[in-house]
Structures are given as structure tokens and as C-alpha cells.
A = this chain, B = another copy of it.
């Protein structure tokens, strides 16, 4: 069903083969542009001063200019008086008049009648005079080649009479999406029209990356999955562009035409690289132009561009490839990895106490939100099968260290008010971020114990006492030191499709044969509640269709109901409301934030508590529906 054209290669070998090919070793041609339009461009040759700066001797102060020798001997006891014809009024930057060789500051000049002035100290020759060329002498080098022009450089060049300069033309990159299923993101389609289609969005991401690296992207319209159409598009593009990137169609699937097309039209250098995501990348040359087959999944496409296109654009521009900032952090948990593959793991970083801890984000190459949320990327070398918890790893940063240090990390049960906390905090303190990871109540408390986060969101019912959270915290933190701050009381209920077509009323209905249920994962507060209620009324789990179908968030459960994967799920009212579903309340539960007492005075935590205690926050929570804020912000334990 499929064909691989070349053996898969390790990353460094693939890079060597590709970047050393003559088609990838060409500098972008030089072009001359006006200096005032050169911001951000790369010099193609050194820039030399045309005139000196300043171009003539000039005053460095406001005051008067005169001959220094006319003031020799001046003192408090023996002031020297200078007649009107013996000096000139002068402002900063004015040329020194012929014959004068010093400037006296206005403060030191006493004006007398008839235009005479009096001085009480002698002037040194050339005092307060900026000599011609003090800054730069004509013919001096102002900027080296391969320099990215900054605002101050524009100003310096113009001061030195450089009115135009030679920069590298921006490498032009053709971005060609392929796929029958693609529709343009700019086209307005209804949900029905979208069914079976995929919105073409990679080209926007890739175009933005090209721009950032100094190239000029051109996005093509999607090309159908047809070898001839792809051939035609590539042939057209190599005539006009410095680099051609064909997106999707490079995985080893049924519609894997790109490597073959490259092979037919020119030379396929690499097909498949030992990296994950990004494995199916294809690298080749057609008519002396590099052509790259970029995998279709967004994270794969991102990694392939970072690995192969970034260094290529830099090389065309004659600059060093920008490298990510590296920081060291501790693995918050064990990370598995596939031997024989260099894995690029997106991670969240948290500064909890004095430790910088990294936690991997979901790994699917299709999960673009994992890149949006990532603070950095960890590379696990191909010879490892994973790394242990507590191991120190190098992280390539995507966000600034400072942002990460200003990020409050909440791990645990999912609640929609967590986003509101983040938004309200940022409104007050723009430097603050809140990152929330939804792993369920119990896993959140475990993460808190491991020092992976600042706070854990939890709603765990103690089946014996009927009380929330306290007994779990006591068990997990036997030495104490944990405060429970109430965030909200909230309604849990059965989420069903609009109009409740299956007529579901209570937990009893879950055992009906025509009802498919969708569950939450063990350790989540909602699961604990479900199991408690089922036991109470004596329904064995194996009588429920879909009990083993587990999802990780309220919204995912609601989405499964909305899409018909299930008829009913247990979740919070806000999730039902968000997706326009019906909701049958079954219980009110308490959702608390567990916070180590030693953090309560911490800047981020105390700001968070201040925020959730504010009227503004409570008002916003109540508009979500299904919440009660009667104890919001109170310490419960």
C-alpha cells in the first residue's frame, strides 16, 4: 500500500546532506535599499561612513564660542572681559565659527552692558567642542556584513551620510498546501459544510515563522492530492522561489505523493528523519532549488520547519541560525520515549519554590494547542527510552524565563472558573499568567506533593463523612501544611443533548440498554461522585454501556454528548451551558484549591487569593451559571 524511497536518517545526517547540497549553499542576492527602509534587514556587506559625524567641529553645550587664548589668566580675582566681537552665541550642535576654538557654557558667562561678557575662569582649547569625526570618521566601518539592522543602526547610518545600503534580498518561500480535504481558513463555512473538510491553517503558522526568520513567504492555494497537480505546482514554484515547501502528503500514506514527485522532478535527498514529531519529512532539490515535503500534522510541520528551514533561511541571509535559549529544569515525572527516535516533547515549566520543574504536555502531533501552551521543548535523544522523574534536562525555551516565573501553576480538576482567575489576574497584573493542567483532583494533589505546581484544584467526596477534600489532603499530606481555599460550590449533573431525546432523569437511567454513557477517568472528583452514587443505589458498573469510555475534562464529556458519541455524561453545569446542552442537576459539590501554607504569602498566590475574593471575580463566576460563591475565597481547612 505504501513505499519508502530512502532509508530513514538520523537528524544530524539529514541536516548535513540537505544543507551541504549546493542548492542550499547559495547566498540570497544583494539588493540596494534606502537606509530609512532597512530596519530588520541583513547587511550584505560592511557599511562604511560616507561623511564624518559630526561633520564639522561643533558646540557640545549651549553658550558662547571664542578663542581660548583670549581667556587665559581669568579667575575670580581677575575676571576677563570679552567684547561683543570677541565671541559668538552658540547652541549645542552649531558649528564652531572660524577662528574660535572653545565653548564656554552659558552658566559660566556673565552678561555685561553693551554686549560684553565676563568670565571668571580660563577656557581650555577645544573645551566643550565636539570635534569633527568624534563619533565616526568618514570611511570607518559602521556595521559589519551579516548584521540585522536595529533602530539605532538606521539612525547611525543616516548620521554618517549613508543614504542607501546593500542588504540580502529576503529569501522567497513558496508554501504549497496539498490535500483534497483542505479548505481555506479565510472561507466562511458552516459546521455542516465543514464536515469531512480540514481548515488549512498550517500555512499561516509556517508563513509567520518564515517572516520571523527574515524570509518572504507566499501562501499558495491548496493543491489537490494528485501527483500531476503537485508536480505542476512545484515546477511553477521552483522557477520563482528560493525554497519550496509542500505541506502534507509527505507521510507514508496512501496519498504520499510528494517524495515521489520530488524524485521524479529532481533529486530526493532525504525521506524520513528519526525525529518525533516530524518523522515523514522529505528533503530534495528540483531545478537547483531546495524543495521540502513538510508533514501534515501541525506540530510535525513546526518541528520540521524549525529543524530544516530555519538554518536554510539563515544560511541564505549569511547569518548564524538563531538558537533557542536553553534552561535546565527537573523532570516532574517520568517521560517515556521511543528508542531510535529523537523526541521533541512540549513541556510546561513551573517555578515552584526554588525549583524549576518541567511537565510534559500531551504528545499527539495533531495537538496544536500543545504548542500554544508549551513553555519549551525537551529533546530526548534517540538512544534513550525515556528519562526518570527528578532528572535534570535541557529545555529549549519558547517563552521568556520571566514569564514562566510569573506563571501560577494550578494542576488538578478541571473547572471553567480557573480560566477566569487567569483572566482577572492578568487584567490587574499584565505580567501574570495562570497555567492550568487538567488531570483530575487526585492527580492534582499528587502533583502538588511532588512540588510540580503552586495549587491543586480538587473536589473529592469522602464517601464516609460526606465531606469534601479534607480527608484526602490529610491522607496525602500526613505532615499537614496544606490550606484549602474554597473556589466555588458547583452543580454536578447529567449532561444530555438538547431536548433530552432519551428522556434521561437520574442515575437509574444509565443502566438502560439504549443509553450510552461517557465516563471520567479514575481519580477525578466526578468519577468519585459517580461511583459513590452508583453504589448507593446498587448499580454495578458493568451494567453501564460506556462506563470504560473515559475522558479527562468536563468539556470533553460535553463534547462527546454533543457529537453523539454518548447520550449522557456526568459533569458541571457550565460545560453543558458552554456547548448548549441540557443539564439535570444531581448534586452540589465543593471545589477547593489546595495550597501549601508556606506559599500563602507568596506574591503570586496572595494575588490569586485577592483576586478570587474580589466582587468582580464572583460576579463573573455567577454569570457562568451553576455556581455558588457563598464561600469563595474562604479558608475551609
A contact residues vs B (CB 8 Å cutoff): 1-2, 34-36, 39, 45-46, 51-57, 60-62, 89, 91-95, 106-107, 109, 111, 125-126, 130-146, 150-156, 158-159, 161, 163, 179, 181, 185-186, 188, 191, 194-196, 198-199, 201-202, 204-209, 211-212, 251-255, 296, 298, 302, 314-315, 318-320, 323, 364, 366-372, 402-403, 406, 419, 422-423, 426-427, 430-431, 433-434, 549, 551, 553, 555-556, 558-560, 563, 565, 578-579
Contact = CB atoms under 8 A, between A and B. Distances in A.
Nearest to A371: B152
B204 A151 contact: yes
A327 to B, nearest CB: 12
A555 B559 CA distance: 74
Contacts of A253: 61-62, 91-92, 106
A201 B314 CA distance: 29
A174 to B, nearest CB: 17
Contacts of A142: 369, 372
Given A132-B563, A155-B201, A194-B51, A94 B181 contact: yes
Contacts of A158: 185, 199, 201, 204
A155 B196 CA distance: 19
B39 A559 contact: no
A513 to B, nearest CB: 16
Contacts of A156: 201, 368-369, 371-372
A135 B552 CA distance: 12
A131 B560 contact: yes
B137 A559 contact: yes
Contacts of A153: 372
Given A1-B109, A135-B366, A369-B156, A559 B426 contact: no
A315 B191 CA distance: 39
A551 to B, nearest CB: 8
B208 A39 contact: yes
Contacts of A302: 152
10 nearest A-B residue pairs (beta carbon): A151-B208, A62-B253, A320-B431, A155-B205, A139-B578, A133-B559, A137-B555, A158-B201, A158-B185, A155-B201
A27 to B, nearest CB: 10
B372 A151 contact: no
A95 B196 contact: yes
B155 A92 contact: no
Nearest to A109: B1
Contact of A93 (B62, B130, B198): B198
Given A137-B553, A188-B163, A251 B62 contact: yes
Contact of A195 (B1, B56, B255): B56
B372 A402 contact: no
A315 to B, nearest CB: 8
Given A156-B368, A205-B155, A212-B151, A419 B141 contact: yes
A93 B181 contact: yes
Contacts of A106: 1-2, 253-254
B579 A139 contact: yes
A362 to B, nearest CB: 9
A540 B131 CA distance: 27
A140 to B, nearest CB: 6
Contacts of A134: 364, 366-367
Nearest to A198: B93
A414 to B, nearest CB: 10
A367 B431 CA distance: 35
Contacts of A559: 52, 131-133, 137-138
Contacts of A422: 141, 144
Contact of A154 (B159, B196, B208): B208
A202 B151 CA distance: 9
Contact of A137 (B111, B137, B207, B556): B556
B51 A191 contact: yes
Given A106-B2, A142-B369, A366-B135, A185 B54 contact: no
Contact of A211 (B39, B45, B144): B39
Given A89-B254, A154-B208, A426-B145, A133 B366 contact: no
A313 to B, nearest CB: 12
Nearest to A406: B320
Nearest to A35: B185
A630 to B, nearest CB: 26
A19 B360 CA distance: 40
A315 B252 CA distance: 50
A561 to B, nearest CB: 11
Given A60-B366, A198-B93, A319 B430 contact: yes
Nearest to A163: B188
A434 to B, nearest CB: 8
Given A92-B251, A156-B372, A144 B433 contact: yes
A402 B156 CA distance: 24
A57 B130 contact: no
Nearest to A254: B62
Contacts of A579: 137-139
A555 B139 contact: yes
A153 B32 CA distance: 34
10 contacts: A62-B254, A62-B255, A91-B254, A136-B369, A144-B422, A151-B212, A152-B368, A156-B368, A158-B201, A320-B402
